[in-house]
Copies of this chain bind each other. A is one copy, B any other.
Amino acid sequence: MTDRRRSVAAAADGFMRAFTVDDLIAAARAHSPGIGVATVYRAVASMEDAGALERVGSRDGSALYVRCSVEEHHHHLVCTACGAVAHTPCPLGAPASDAAHEGFVVTSHQVTLYGLCAACATTGPEGG
């Protein structure tokens, strides 16, 4: 774990919302001014591999990520208005046992729920 990687991880920790790699670069530069984009992209890739980061879609052609500190397998609720993220348990009881598709071996799956967080649903966008 290098100094740069620590900066990126800390920057990711700072977000309460979904963020882009650009967001991450800007945040990481607060503590590591000279950090390069390639380094951040590399850190993102390794954090994604490690499960510390998960991609939850994209916005204007940029990938959107959320920080996951939870170890167990889980999924996400992403507010499309303010970007707030909640981590939610996996709702799929036994996806591999779907009788209609016998023989299909599920190795991974991705569930993302989009909508409005409580704050945005009540006070409107930018309200949270």
Contacts and interface: CB of A to CB of B under 8 A. Distances in A.
A24 to B, nearest CB: 20
A75 to B, nearest CB: 9
B101 A106 contact: no
A73 interface: no
Given A110-B112, A115-B108, A121 B103 contact: yes
> Quick one: copies of this chain in the complex?
2
B95 A89 contact: no
17 contacts: A77-B101, A77-B106, A86-B104, A88-B100, A89-B100, A91-B92, A91-B95, A104-B113, A105-B115, A105-B116, A106-B114, A106-B115, A108-B114, A109-B113, A110-B111, A110-B112, A110-B114
